[in-house]
């Protein structure tokens, strides 16, 4: 074994790790990304900017006649500082005769941010209460603990987001 073999191995492992991490997620459909950009413009301050690369979405068939999109998007740099907020937006999806999807906003709420918690993947589970009409989405997140750096939450949690009467709100533990 020559001296170059360990270096070559390290380089190959680094490259393989980088490629595994950099695997692209499915891109946000352009009409949905346009709606998210409109929300960013409404929610940001003069300093903050949207971070479109961090946008993640999931489509959910609530029933045979209602399809929605859940979107997690990030706005960073509020007040010119080094902070960010993650938002959850819900959109109704309706298709026209040509099959083109249109996304109508239902509601948007903050769900994460620096020093609070973060959502890295969106794989929401849901249940519908036919009596009350509410839909409960269960979303995996990471929460900041006392030992964590502000941007590196480590505690695995589930958050419950309620959709009722066209509004989103978080169901807190009782």
Residue 25: pLDDT band with limits 50, 70, 90: low
Predicted local confidence at residue 8, as pLDDT: 44
Using the predicted structure, report yes or no on whether residue 119 has a pLDDT greater than 90: yes
Predicted local confidence at residue 20, as pLDDT: 32
**CA atoms of 98 and 22, how far apart (whole Å):** 34
Using the predicted structure, report yes or no on whether residue 27 has a pLDDT greater than 70: yes
Q: Which of 88, 82, 23 is nearest to 55 (CA)?
A: 88
Using the predicted structure, report yes or no on whether residue 18 has a pLDDT greater than 50: no
Strands (E), 43-133: 49-50, 56-63, 66-76, 84-95, 101-113, 117-118, 125-128
Using the predicted structure, report yes or no on whether residue 5 has a pLDDT greater than 80: no
Instruction: Read off the pLDDT of residues 86-102 as tens digits, 9 standing for 90 and up.
Output: 999 999 999 999 989 99
> Which residues pair with residue 138 across a beta bridge?
125, 160
Q: What is the mean pLDDT of residues 167-174?
A: 83
Using the predicted structure, report yes or no on whether residue 75 has a pLDDT greater than 80: yes
The pTM for the full model equals 0.83
Say if CB 113 and CB 97 are below 8 A apart.
no
- Beta-carbon contacts of residue 94 (< 8 Å; ≥ 6 apart): 101, 102, 104
Q: How would you classify the pairing of strands 135-143 and 117-118?
A: antiparallel
Q: Tell me what the pLDDT averaged over the chain comes to.
A: 86
Residue ranges covered by each domain of the chain: 26-171
């Amino acid at each position: 074994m020559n001296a170059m073999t360990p270096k070559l191995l390290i380089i190959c492992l680094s490259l393989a790790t980088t490629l595994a991490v950099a695997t692209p997620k499915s891109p946000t459909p352009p009409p949905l990304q346009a709606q998210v950009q409109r929300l960013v413009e409404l929610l940001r301050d003069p300093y903050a900017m949207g971070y479109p690369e961090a946008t993640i979405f999931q489509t959910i068939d609530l029933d045979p006649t209602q399809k929605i999109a859940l979107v997690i998007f990030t706005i960073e740099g509020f007040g010119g500082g080094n902070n960010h907020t993650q938002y959850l937006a819900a959109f109704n999806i309706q298709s026209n005769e040509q099959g083109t999807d249109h996304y109508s906003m239902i509601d948007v709420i903050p769900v994460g941010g620096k020093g609070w918690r973060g959502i890295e993947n969106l794989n929401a589970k849901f249940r519908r209460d036919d009596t009350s009409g509410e839909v409960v989405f269960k979303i995996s997140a990471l929460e900041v603990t006392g030992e964590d750096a502000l941007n590196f939450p480590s505690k695995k949690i589930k958050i419950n987001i309620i959709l009722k009467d066209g509004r989103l709100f978080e169901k807190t533990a009782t």
